[in-house]
Structures are given as structure tokens and as C-alpha cells.
Chains A and B, each alone.
Chain A
Amino acid sequence: GAVVSQHPSRVICKSGTSVKIECRSLDFQATTMFWYRQFPKQSLMLMATSNEGSKATYEQGVEKDKFLINHASLTLSTLTVTSAHPEDSSFYICSVRGASGELFFGEGSRLTVL
């Protein structure tokens, strides 16, 4: 299956700053990547679908100006949490879709906003 690398695994920042999370598909060319958010002991919430070379598709209720997604190449998608606030603290996970329809996930990035 595909190997997905996510960086950083943990980040702590001050309120009002922006944080960038990278998602790399190491052995798989991904025209599409998915960004999820997970609160403690809860399910994954699909935030947006990242499309290589075009705009991301955001799920209802997700602020696109707050969560900027860039998918500049077939192996890299980035999620930038702009002007982060404590309520943005969460576990963010990216994934790519394999040829058989399964999802391969990164290890996740835990964001803590102070």
C-alpha cells in the first residue's frame, strides 16, 4: 500500500499564529488527498478533499479561509491553519486513496493552540 508521511507530528503554537502541516505520499502519485480532523475519543471528520493543481473541495461547515489547503504536486498537500485559536486544537490526519479504494493515512499531527 501507499506510504504517507505527515509532518509535524506535534505542534504547539500561540493563539493568532498560523501553522502548516505537510502530507507527503512517498511512493504513490496522489491527485487527491483527504484531510480529516479528529477530536479526542471521537470519529474522523472529513474536512476537505485536496485536488492536485486545483482548488480544494471543502465539506459543509469548514471555513476555507481558516483552513488553507494547497496541493501543488502529486506527492504533497499542505494544510495551513490560519490565525489559530484554542478551539482549533485537534488531531489532523491526511490520507490518500489506493487503487482498490482503500485509504492510506499519515500518522497524524496533533495541534495544540495556547
Chain B
Amino acid sequence: SQQGEEDPQALSIQEGENATMNCSYKTSINNLQWYRQNSGRGLVHLILIRSNEREKHSGRLRVTLDTSKKSSSLLITASRAADTASYFCATGWTGNQFYFGTGTSLTVIP
């Protein structure tokens, strides 16, 4: 399966703490993307990291990619209650197709 896997499945932290979630995948990729999904809503694109990049930042988000280990991590610093959502990684490999991981459910407690 091309699907990625996020770890942990669920994460609960206090507001202001950092949240780290990981994604592992099995096949070669062109890029890896992270998305956020609020309950009952569509997904929102957060950040894209290409296979030749090792780290990328966007605001409070930091993404790393280790292609040798086939893994990526998403760090959200200084978390807020509004960050409560499910987070998915998606691996882009051939053509237009993207496959999503199983997701990490993040709860930020005010």
C-alpha cells in the first residue's frame, strides 16, 4: 500500500506546548504534504516538502523529511486551542495521485 501512517493516532496537550506527529511511508515519493482537517470539514493544505528537502518552516509549523528512513515529522510550536484537528500526511508519488495516512487526532486543551 502506498498509504502513509501517522503516529501517534491521538495526542492531547496543553495550550502553549509543542505537538509533534510523525508519518512513515513505504514507497519512493516526489513530495510529502501535511494537511489539517477540522471535524466534519474538508482538508486544508499546510505544507509541502519535496523529496530533496530536509526541513521546511511555515509560521509555527516545522516539517522534516528523512527519505532514507521514509519518515516525516510535523512540529506545531506554541499550540493553541484552534489547532485542535486531525492531521494527515499525504505522499505524492506518480502522476497526480496522492495517498493519505491514517491521521493524528490532536486535542489542545485551553
Binding partners A and B: yes
**A residues lining the B interface (CB < 8 Å):** 1, 4, 6, 32, 34, 36, 41-44, 46, 49, 91, 93, 95, 97-98, 100-108, 110
Contact indicator B96/A102 (Cβ below 8 Å): no
Known contacts A104-B45, A108-B40: does B88 contact A49 (CB below 8 Å)? no
Interface string of B24-55 (1 = CB under 8 A from A): 00000011010100001111110010000000
Chain B residue nearest in CB terms to A31? B96
Number of A-B contacts (CB under 8 A): 59
Please give, as numbers and ranges, the residues of chain B lying within 8 Å of A105 by CB-CB distance: 35, 42-44
Please classify the interface of chain B as helix (H, G, I), strand (E, B), loop, or mixed, using the class held by over half of its residues.
Answer: strand
Please give, as numbers and ranges, the residues of chain A lying within 8 Å of B101 by CB-CB distance: 43
- In Å, the complex CA distance between A100 and B3 comes to 21
Please give, as numbers and ranges, the residues of chain B lying within 8 Å of A95 by CB-CB distance: 43
Contact indicator B102/A43 (Cβ below 8 Å): yes
Contact indicator A101/B42 (Cβ below 8 Å): no
Chain A residue nearest in CB terms to B48? A102
With both chains docked as a complex, state the minimum distance between the C-beta of A105 and any C-beta of chain B, in angstroms: 4
Please give, as numbers and ranges, the residues of chain B lying within 8 Å of A91 by CB-CB distance: 40
Neighbour of A101 across the interface among B48, B103, B105, CB < 8 A: B48
- In Å, the complex CA distance between A102 and B35 comes to 10
- In Å, the complex CA distance between A34 and B95 comes to 12
Contact indicator B48/A100 (Cβ below 8 Å): yes
> In residues 76-100 of chain B, which contact A (Cβ within 8 Å)?
88, 90, 92, 96-100
Please give, as numbers and ranges, the residues of chain A lying within 8 Å of B102 by CB-CB distance: 42-43
Neighbour of B96 across the interface among A49, A100, A110, CB < 8 A: A49
Contact indicator B88/A102 (Cβ below 8 Å): no
Known contacts A43-B88, A43-B102, A101-B48: does B96 contact A34 (CB below 8 Å)? yes
Neighbour of A102 across the interface among B42, B45, B97, B99, CB < 8 A: B45
Contact indicator A102/B40 (Cβ below 8 Å): no
